[in-house]
C-alpha cells in the first residue's frame, strides 16, 4: 500500500504499525520518523510528544468505533436489535484494523497507566450501551441483571474473539481475515449475546 503523502499522516501510519509490533516503550521517535521518512522534529511539531502521537493513534482507532456504537445505540429499533448492531459494528471495525487488537492487548495488559483517550471514549460508550439494556429491561425483552455488567459482557464477546485471533487461528483453524469465517464468527457472537440477554419466557408469556 502506498504511504500517505502528508507528513502527519505518514507519521501516524508508521506509528500505528510500530506501536502494534513493539509496544509504546519499544518504539522510539527515531524509529517512527525513519519509517515515515520524516524529520525527528516533525513529531513534536505535529503531535507535541511521543505520548501525544500515541494518543492520536489510539483516537484514530477507537474514535470511529465509538461513533458507530453510538449510532447503533440511538437507532429507532428494539433494544436487542440495537445491541446486535453494536456487536456487528465492533467485529467489523476491529477486523478491518489488524493493528488494533495488538495495541489494545498491550493497553490492557501493560504496566503503563491506561491512556486517557481510551478511558474517555469507553467511559462515554458504556453508559450509552447500559441505557439500551435498561430500556430492554423496562419493556420486558431483556432479562434482569446489573445493566453495567451485562453491557460489559456484550462487548466482551466480540472483543475476545478478535483479541485472541492469532491463538484461535492456530488452535481452532478459524482465520478472522477470511470473509466466510468472519461472517460465521460474527453471527455466532450475535447469537450468543442475544440468547444471554433475552428475557426467558414464562409459561404465561409462551401461551
What's the pLDDT tens digit per position in 11-70?
999 999 999 999 999 999 999 999 999 999 999 999 999 999 999 999 999 999 989 999
Predicted pLDDT of residue 109: 75
Residue 161: give the domain boundaries: 60-200
Per-residue pLDDT tens over the stretch 100-128: 888 888 887 777 788 888 888 888 889 99
Predicted pLDDT of residue 196: 95
Residues 3 and 27 in one domain: yes
Residues 110 and 160 in one domain: yes
CB 182 within 8 A of CB 95: yes
Residues 26 and 73 in one domain: no
Cross-strand pairs, 142:
198
- The CATH number assigned to the domain holding 82 equals 1.10.357.10
CB 115 within 8 A of CB 58: yes
Instruction: Report helix, strand or coil for 140.
Output: coil
- pTM (predicted TM-score): 0.86
Distance CA 86, CA 193 (A): 11
Residues 35 and 110 in one domain: no
Instruction: Classify residue 206: in a domain, yes or no.
Output: no
Predicted pLDDT of residue 1: 39
Distance CA 121, CA 104 (A): 13
Q: What phi and psi values does residue 27 have, to the nearest 5 degrees?
A: -120, 125
CB 60 within 8 A of CB 13: no
Q: How many domains does the chain have?
A: 2
Amino acid at each position: 500500500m502506498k504511504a500517505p503523502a502528508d507528513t502527519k499522516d505518514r507519521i501516524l501510519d508508521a506509528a500505528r504499525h510500530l506501536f502494534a509490533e513493539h509496544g509504546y516503550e519499544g518504539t522510539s521517535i527515531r524509529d517512527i520518523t525513519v519509517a515515515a521518512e520524516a524529520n525527528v522534529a516533525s513529531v513534536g511539531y505535529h503531535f507535541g510528544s511521543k505520548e501525544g502521537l500515541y494518543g492520536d493513534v489510539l483516537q484514530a482507532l477507537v474514535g470511529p468505533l465509538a461513533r458507530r456504537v453510538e449510532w447503533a445505540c440511538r437507532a429507532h429499533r428494539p433494544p436487542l436489535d440495537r445491541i446486535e448492531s453494536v456487536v456487528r459494528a465492533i467485529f467489523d471495525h476491529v477486523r478491518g484494523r489488524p493493528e488494533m487488537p495488538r495495541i489494545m492487548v498491550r493497553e490492557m495488559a501493560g504496566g503503563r497507566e491506561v491512556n486517557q483517550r481510551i478511558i474517555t471514549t469507553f467511559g462515554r460508550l458504556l453508559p450509552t450501551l447500559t441505557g439500551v439494556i435498561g430500556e430492554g429491561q423496562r419493556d420486558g425483552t431483556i432479562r434482569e441483571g446489573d445493566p453495567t455488567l451485562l453491557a460489559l459482557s456484550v462487548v466482551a464477546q466480540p472483543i475476545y474473539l478478535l483479541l485472541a485471533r492469532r491463538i484461535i487461528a492456530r488452535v481452532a483453524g478459524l482465520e478472522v481475515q477470511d470473509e466466510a469465517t468472519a461472517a460465521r464468527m460474527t453471527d455466532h457472537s450475535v447469537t450468543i449475546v442475544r440468547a444471554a440477554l433475552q428475557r426467558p419466557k414464562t409459561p404465561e408469556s409462551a401461551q
